[in-house]
A = this chain, B = another copy of it.
Amino acid sequence: MTQLARAALLAALPFAASLARADEGMWTFDHFPSERVRQRYGFAPDPAWLDHVRAASARMAEGCSASFVSPTGLVVFNHHCAQDCIAQLSTARRDYLASGFWARTQREEVRCPELEIDRLDEIRDVTGEVAASTSGLSGPAWEEARRATVAGLEQACGGGDDRVRCEVVSLYHGGVHALYRYHRFQDTRLVFAPELAVASFGGDPDNFMFPRYDLDVAFVRVYEDGRPARTDEFLRWSSGGLEDGQLTFVSGNPGSTEREWTVAQLEYERDVALPERLLLLAEQRGQLTEFRERGPEERRIAADPLLELENSFKARRGMLEALLDRDFFAARVAAERALRAEVEADPNLREAAGAWDAIARALEEQRRIHRRLWWVGYERAFDSDLFRAAVQLLRGAEEREKENGARLAEYAEARLPELRAHLLARAPVHRELEILQLTFSLTAMREALGADDPFVRKVLGKRSPRELATRLVTRTRLGTDPAGLAERRRLWEGGRDTVDASRDPMMAIARLVDPEARAVRKHFEEEVESVMEESGERIARARFALHGTSDYPDATFTPRLSFGAVEGYLEEGRLVRPFTTVSGLFERATGREPFRLPASWLRARSRLDPSTALNFCTTNDIVGGNSGSPVVDQRGEIVGLAFDGNIQSLGGDYGFDPAVNRTVAVSSEAILAALEQVYGARRLVEELVPGRGGGRAPRGAARSSSP
């Protein structure tokens, strides 16, 4: 990772930065470095281009990116983004992860229980308002003032309309605050999804790898008032091919990066947070893998959580390896030293001078309490959807009695519509899986805090973790069956007295642990988090004063645009070419999971052009959250969908290495070929490329899997 180290090192030198960083950057649309793109690639997106691409882009509230691809609400993103929905719509008799899904007619489009698509409609700078409200404060007072201001701004912006989502976003770690207003599409219906076997061909072994052969695509449609929503701004589908070296833009919502973190924060991540999390994920993975062997229904219900878990494990493992790279870490240390020297040399930046040490001290406290914070404060001891519903009902009642600004952040007025929708969604709950996960988390809590810890004793009493988990999950009436949802609605709407009167065992355990959970979290927020954020903002203001918006802010799961090009890379001395083809997919298939192609593809083989580009990689700078992002060419047409990064990109949270960090995408061309030749999805093709889908479906194209 010497290249990565070098890049990070150069980043420490302010004047060399813009030259050295190549295609690095997750730029906000309002500070996009068009001139830099022109210098490198001979094309500069103008304001109209930028506005159009931004308006046609979207995000999935739970954490993916997407785009509109027709004027009647058609949205494209990744299969792995739609995976929860697909699993939720499946049953023991009809497994859409296995069979794929295709709504031949619009009437067959079926609503996803929890999938929300958000479109950004407005950004307003509120830096001054936030800064004024916290000026001169620190610690708990700072934390309270900021929370109240943010809640007030968001509430005023949304105005109680549950089709609007307003969020105050902190860019440059507080260097800038902006109020983002989104339009929420809550009625989102599944249109098309291929079989998991081809969407995630290669499974965990191929995840984060390139060359790659995945058809990681799904289409949904947003509805309003029971009809397809009008989406005038949408991206056109390119039916042309891509070329090596071609300029590409990725428009999406990178989740979070820590490129501006201090060394102390990186050390905490490397030595505490990542190892602890990885060990938990590894154990859960072993357990889920074995759970699947119990039988076909267990295999089905474990598929979605296992995919998510394995992805999380592999990603975090790559992040840990990046931080353990000694050259890389040394470069971060050097970069911090350089910035501190700049700050100390400038009398105007004095307020930032003590910030690094303040963060380091706060992290000492976090090291002391981190286990209790995780298991008690964040209630991770109770890994159960049913428990989380109980907590939301309990706290929902408690918090709604308070003034908006004084509530826990996730119960602020502007957040309630989403919370309520989630609570009342008809997503299936698999009780066997709930018992497995709750048993695991209770056992892990006992392991982390010790069998003699008073909290552990209070929770378990004389029961074993499995006994308690089984009892809670089987006896609670807070399921998502009609009776359970009715009870949830009764408790949500009934308020404090109704909730307090509930004898449901899940409500009872939520009540039992709530005071301590709140206390631990409050201690953390006051003694650790607020110190880190406040100090982080001081550093950010200093950095912003020195470099301004010539640099991009760390990712915040808000719309960003990156530029780059189709480009291979060197791996252990060997050139990795930037394209894979349909013929490569067939060659890689062994007939065994996770390299087993679905029957639809085996039948369609002769109809497909083997040379069609299937996946490609580019130098665009993306991270988790970008999944589903449209890759667009300079005409603003979709040439692919980003669905992954290569293994070398996993250090991307902490720094970008232009030599080997690559975005991995599925080509628009391959998607079109699959829709036409494998799935006979003419209606969809016609909507994407008007005039093209009119022909006859090929003989032998797959039958629809309508619900």
Residue numbers of A with Cβ under 8 A of B are 202, 204-206, 209, 271-272, 275, 278-280, 282-291, 294, 317, 320, 324, 436, 440, 446-447, 450-451, 462-464, 467, 590-593, 595
Q: Which residues of B contact A595 (CB under 8 A)?
A: 451
Copies of this chain per assembly: 2
Chain B nearest Cβ from A378, distance in angstroms:
20
A436 to B291, CA, bound (A): 12
A279 is contacted by which of B205, B282, B288, B290 (Cβ under 8 Å)? B282
A205 is contacted by which of B278, B285, B450, B593 (Cβ under 8 Å)? B450
A590 is contacted by which of B206, B288, B462 (Cβ under 8 Å)? B462
Q: Please determine whether B205 and A463 come into contact, CB atoms closer than 8 angstroms.
A: no
Q: Please determine whether B287 and A467 come into contact, CB atoms closer than 8 angstroms.
A: no
A290 to B590, CA, bound (A): 29
16 contacts between A and B (CB under 8 A): A202-B451, A205-B450, A275-B320, A279-B279, A282-B283, A283-B283, A283-B285, A286-B287, A286-B440, A287-B287, A287-B290, A290-B291, A462-B590, A462-B591, A462-B592, A464-B592
CB nearest to A272 among chain B residues: B324
A447 is contacted by which of B204, B294, B593 (Cβ under 8 Å)? B204
A198 to B535, CA, bound (A): 53
Q: Which residues of B contact A282 (CB under 8 A)?
A: 279-280, 282-283, 286
A-B CB proximity, top 7 nearest:
A286-B286, A286-B287, A283-B286, A290-B290, A282-B282, A462-B590, A464-B592
Chain B nearest Cβ from A617, distance in angstroms:
16
Q: Please determine whether A447 and B279 come into contact, CB atoms closer than 8 angstroms.
A: no
Q: Which residues of B contact A272 (CB under 8 A)?
A: 324
Q: Which of A271, A286, A595 has the most CB of B within 10 A?
A: A286
A464 to B592, CA, bound (A): 6
Secondary structure of the A contact surface, majority rule: helix
Q: Which residues of B contact A283 (CB under 8 A)?
A: 282-283, 285-286
Chain B nearest Cβ from A412, distance in angstroms:
37
A450 to B291, CA, bound (A): 25
CB nearest to A317 among chain B residues: B279
A283 to B291, CA, bound (A): 13
CB nearest to A209 among chain B residues: B450
Chain B nearest Cβ from A205, distance in angstroms:
4
CB nearest to A278 among chain B residues: B279
A451 to B283, CA, bound (A): 22
Q: Which residues of B contact A209 (CB under 8 A)?
A: 450-451
Q: Which residues of B contact A324 (CB under 8 A)?
A: 271-272, 275
CB nearest to A589 among chain B residues: B462
Q: Which residues of B contact A287 (CB under 8 A)?
A: 286-287, 289-290
Q: Which residues of B contact A271 (CB under 8 A)?
A: 324
Q: Which residues of B contact A291 (CB under 8 A)?
A: 290
A462 to B592, CA, bound (A): 7
CB nearest to A286 among chain B residues: B286
Q: Which residues of B contact A320 (CB under 8 A)?
A: 275
Q: Which residues of B contact A278 (CB under 8 A)?
A: 275, 279
Chain B nearest Cβ from A493, distance in angstroms:
39
Q: Please determine whether B204 and A464 come into contact, CB atoms closer than 8 angstroms.
A: no
Q: Which of A275, A324, A593 has the most CB of B within 10 A?
A: A275
A595 to B456, CA, bound (A): 14
Q: Please determine whether A205 and B286 come into contact, CB atoms closer than 8 angstroms.
A: no
CB nearest to A463 among chain B residues: B592
Q: Please determine whether A447 and B275 come into contact, CB atoms closer than 8 angstroms.
A: no
Q: Which residues of B contact A463 (CB under 8 A)?
A: 590, 592
A450 to B646, CA, bound (A): 13
Q: Which of A205, A209, A463, A593 has the most CB of B within 10 A?
A: A205
Q: Which residues of B contact A590 (CB under 8 A)?
A: 462-464
Q: Which residues of B contact A204 (CB under 8 A)?
A: 447
A359 to B329, CA, bound (A): 22
Chain B nearest Cβ from A246, distance in angstroms:
27
Q: Contacts A205-B446, A447-B204, A592-B464 known; A286 to B279 CB distance under 8 Å?
A: no
Chain B nearest Cβ from A345, distance in angstroms:
29
CB nearest to A202 among chain B residues: B451
Chain B nearest Cβ from A684, distance in angstroms:
32
A205 to B287, CA, bound (A): 19
A447 to B280, CA, bound (A): 18
Q: Contacts A285-B286, A287-B287, A287-B290 known; A593 to B446 CB distance under 8 Å?
A: no
A467 to B280, CA, bound (A): 28
